[in-house]
Amino acid sequence: MIFKPLNVDDWSRQPYFEHYFHSVRCTFSMTANLDISALYTEVKNKGIKLYPALIYMITTVVNRHREFRTCLNAEGQIGYWDSLSPSFTIFHDDDKTFSTIWTAYSEDFNQFYRGYLDDVEKFGSSKGLVAKPNEPSNTFPISSIPWVHFTGFNLNIYTDGSYLLPILTMGKYDKQNAKVLLPLSVQLHHAVCDGYHAGILFNELQQMADDCDGWLATIDPSRCRYV
């Protein structure tokens, strides 16, 4: 993982960053339904899990755009990671708590999927907020509320408002006639992203869901344990 500092003087977004980070510090959220009909059918036919497929989709789109990878490093310097990996939640049904696990991102879905399965098998029963230790700095959060097909979701984070990476939350999918719709909410910091970037995120995720047969072609369920 490599953090690349930005030359603020040559950064076209510099006046927006100054305004929305220093003058009017704010985040915004957007929720929309993804049509995952094709994806849902494909993962069922292949006998693989939907959750890691959605995590892979989200991480792939996030990594395509520098705006989603822009943040402050430990020294408070503005820059961007060359790539991000997902830090996602898992639910413990016995005591109704959750924990976070991170899995190293790979553009190859088969490799990422196997990494996800290995991590969940090793750390899935660990309790506490953080199940898998040694989370690197270049991760971003993904969570799921699979009990509610929500129409809106907003996080109210009472800190100094300097967290710049996207935060994504998916809800319960709903079958409506021939479609399978999944609500997805994204929280973005206005200092680094606008509504345009939120639109890119949702549009490219929809394209990946529609074209899932391409990137799912790398999967070999027979070599994936714990399916």
pLDDT (tens digit per residue) in 107-146: 999 999 999 999 999 999 999 999 999 999 999 999 999 9
How much is the average pLDDT of 198-218? 96
pLDDT attached to residue 218:
80
Q: Among residues of the chain, what percentage have pLDDT more than 70? A: 97
Residues 163-186 have pLDDT tens digits of 999 999 999 999 999 999 999 999
Comparing 125-129, 148-152, 153-157, the range with the smallest average pLDDT is 153-157
Question: SS3 for 48?
Answer: coil
Q: Among residues of the chain, what percentage have pLDDT more than 90? A: 93
Please count the other Cβ atoms lying within 10 Å of the Cβ belonging to residue 33. Answer: 19
Measured CA to CA, the distance from residue 126 to residue 193 in angstroms comes to 35
Q: Which residues lie across from 169 on neighbouring strands?
A: 143, 185
How much is the average pLDDT of 61-78? 97
Joined together, the tokens standing for residue 10 give 């040559």
Joined together, the tokens standing for residue 125 give 């029963």
Q: Is residue 35 within 8 Å of 181, Cβ to Cβ?
A: yes
Q: 226 pLDDT exceeds 50?
A: no
Phi and psi dihedrals of 148, rounded to 5? -135, 130
pLDDT attached to residue 224:
62
The model's pTM: 0.96
Could you tell me the pLDDT band of residue 66, with boundaries at 50, 70 and 90?
Answer: very high
Round the average pLDDT of the chain to a whole number and report it. Answer: 95
Residues 12-22 have pLDDT tens digits of 999 999 999 99
pLDDT attached to residue 227:
40
Give the residue numbers annotated as catalytic, written as ranges. 190
Please count the other Cβ atoms lying within 10 Å of the Cβ belonging to residue 64. Answer: 13
How much is the average pLDDT of 47-69? 98
Write the DSSP string, 144-176. Answer: EETT---S-------S-S---S-EEEEE--EEE
